[in-house]
Amino acid sequence: MKLLDKQGKYQYSQIQKVVNRTYRKFDAELYFSQDKNELIFSYDDLQNQNFSIKIFDIRSILIFDEKITTIKGFNTKLYNLDWLKPGIYFANLENSTGQNSVIKFIKY
């Protein structure tokens, strides 16, 4: 989030992680780095998994969809979002069993 003071100076708030650990086989993180305009996906498990990452705009229109297969161990994938226009977006991370996490982020 962009924080603005009375003198017009600004700073970005810290990155907030959304972690879904409700099911042992779905130990994944998806978060947005405002200062780098990156969506970051991290995953760590003892087996390969299939994931779908989708980005929707505020009108629920799908603007990005990618299916990925992770390999056993720790995985990190960065998505550069410089191409996105400023606005409010939702990123949905879903595994092959239908478990998902959704985050909301603001692109300035």
- Residues 31-78: tens digit of each pLDDT: 888 888 899 998 887 788 888 999 999 999 999 999 998 888 888 999
Torsion of CA 55, 39, 86, 89, to 10 degrees: 30
- Helices and strands, counts by H and E, the chain: 0, 10
pLDDT (0 to 100) of residue 55: 95
Domain 18-107: CATH architecture, name and number where available: Sandwich (2.60)
Interval 78-105: pLDDT, tens: 999 999 999 999 999 898 888 888 889 9
> Which amino acid would we find at residue 29?
E
- pTM listed for this prediction: 0.71
For the chain, domain boundaries: 18-107
